[in-house]
Structure 1
């Protein structure tokens, strides 16, 4: 990337990634340093001092790991951070920061009088280089009224269209996971070729009366009952059951009209002919 022609968004996005890598490496350093401190606190001649994890060799290895991590941090600073920060110092574009909580406001820097030394910010790198006027239009009610005291009141009443990078990343991951689950479910789903639910006959129920104290209080009329097959697995199973239970003659719960519907649905789903689907079902039934 030619940094002299790179956009503010490109440079600050790369910087944010570099600072994220440095933060991860620094966290590893702190964890290993804590292990070194535990070794230093062991009493000479105690039981723990005889354990391999508290040996001088283990300590030396941990110190080497800390130094290697520091070397990697310096490399990132030299190759990824300093050149890009130099571009910022030369060109000085706008940068914006969102206070990292549910009611956080967007600020033009991290020195706003409404914030505190321990305030945590999310760097809005996608808005780097954006004019303050356009930023306020996007931030709406989340725009800091101290940093942007000139902002029109009607814009400050609008819903914010900004999203912290980490929250956006998490949202996109959730949406991708949800879409993958929906695709997986759709791959297993079954329906009639026209998209309507696939229903199969399960039996005929005669009229039934509910009698209480010799008086008919309710009448259930005679009707046919149907089940909905929702997955390809269920439909294939139904076809197998059809041929298994109809070996000795017509089974009352497995009618020919349902067989035709299920075979067509499975054939459409699998891209096969209905004849192939039925032959496969017969073979499965015969193997039982």
Structure 2
């Protein structure tokens, strides 16, 4: 990245990423330090002192890990953060905004607003870095802090916020991507008629059924045609295989010839093949049984 031409959003995004690396490295260092502390608290000659994970050799390895993690942290500060911060101050700084990280959090122009507390957690809105306060308020709407932006128009403060904390946005996008991938996977397996309508196969005609109950003739169900819906390519190919397997000696009641053309056309359309190829493949599968 060319720091002299990079936008505030690009620079602040890189700064946020660097702090993310530091947080991960710091967490790893602290876990190693906690284990060292546990080892140091073990009584000499106790059962735990003889366990390999608490041995002097293990402690020495942990000390080396702490040193490596700290060296990596220092490198991020020196090699990544320092140049980015220097460019920020070289330009005379730019606007930055922070969203209080809770369900009713407001957007602030800095982290020293008197409506917040030392324990308040913020989400840095790096995508709004360098944005004018007026544009920020227009996006923040009801979430704009009236102490940080006392001049904010009342009509703007009535609008729903269009801002989202980076971590929440990342989580939402991941959920949406996962949902879209699942839908795409399902669509790839699904099958319909070429016109998009459900692929139904005829299973038979059922006459009206009547029974005698308490001396009265009762109609159980009227005459009707019954159908099954094939929802996946796997099911449709299986139906064709079963059709050719079971219909060798004549029509099978479960695999009716009335539906053969529809299923052939649907599979051919789904696989991008001609009907006769699909028919031949189904016959081969049936013969291999």
Distance between the aligned counterparts of 2:146 and 2:211, measured in 1? 72
1:1-288 residue pairs with structure 2 within 5 A? 1-91=1-91, 92-218=93-219, 220-288=221-289
**1:77-124 residue CA offsets vs partner (Å, 9 max, x unmatched):** 011111111222232100000011111110000001111111111000
Cα RMSD for the two superposed structures = 1.2
Between 249-258 and 25-34, the greater mean CA deviation after superposition: 249-258
Q: 1:210 deviation in Å?
A: 4.4
Cα distance in 1 for partners of 2:38, 2:140 equals 48
Structure 1: distance between partners of 2:100 and 2:195: 51
Question: Which ranges of structure 1 fall in alignment gaps of 5 or more residues?
Answer: none
Kindly provide the CA deviation profile for residues 190-238 of structure 1, in whole angstroms up to 9, marking residues without a partner as x: 1111111111011110111244322234362222111111000110111
Deviation at 1:277, TM superposition (A): 1.1
- 1:230 and 1:245 map into 2 onto residues whose CA distance is 21
Q: List per-residue Cα deviations over 1:36-63 (Å, max 9, x = no partner).
A: 0001001122222222222222111111
- Determine the C-alpha separation between the residues in 2 that align with 1:229 and 1:55: 63
Instruction: Give me the whole-angstrom Cα distance separating, in 1, the residues matched to 2:171 and 2:47.
Output: 47
Q: Distance in 2 between matches of 1:247 and 1:13?
A: 68
Give the whole-Å Cα distance in 2 for the aligned partners of 1:132 and 1:211: 81
> 3-state DSSP class of the match of 2:202?
strand
Taking the aligned partners of 2:252 and 2:53, their CA distance within structure 1 comes to 72
Distance 2:7 2:82 in 1: 16
How many residue pairs are counted as aligned between the two chains? 288
205-214 vs 71-80, which deviates more?
A: 205-214
Equivalent-residue separation in structure 2 for 1:29 and 1:57 (angstroms): 18
CA distance in 2, matches of 1:22, 1:262: 59
Q: Distance in 1 between matches of 2:219 and 2:209?
A: 9
In 1: Cα distance, 2:58 partner to 2:255 partner: 72
Q: Please give the alpha-carbon distance, in whole angstroms, between the structure 2 residues aligned to 1:2 and 1:236.
A: 56
Indicate if the aligned counterparts of 2:211 and 2:218 stay in contact, CA closer than 8 A.
yes
SS in 2 for 1:226: strand
**TM-score using structure 1 length:** 0.97
**TM superposition shift of 1:266:** 0.6
CA distance in 1, matches of 2:274, 2:5: 59
Taking the aligned partners of 1:253 and 1:43, their CA distance within structure 2 comes to 76
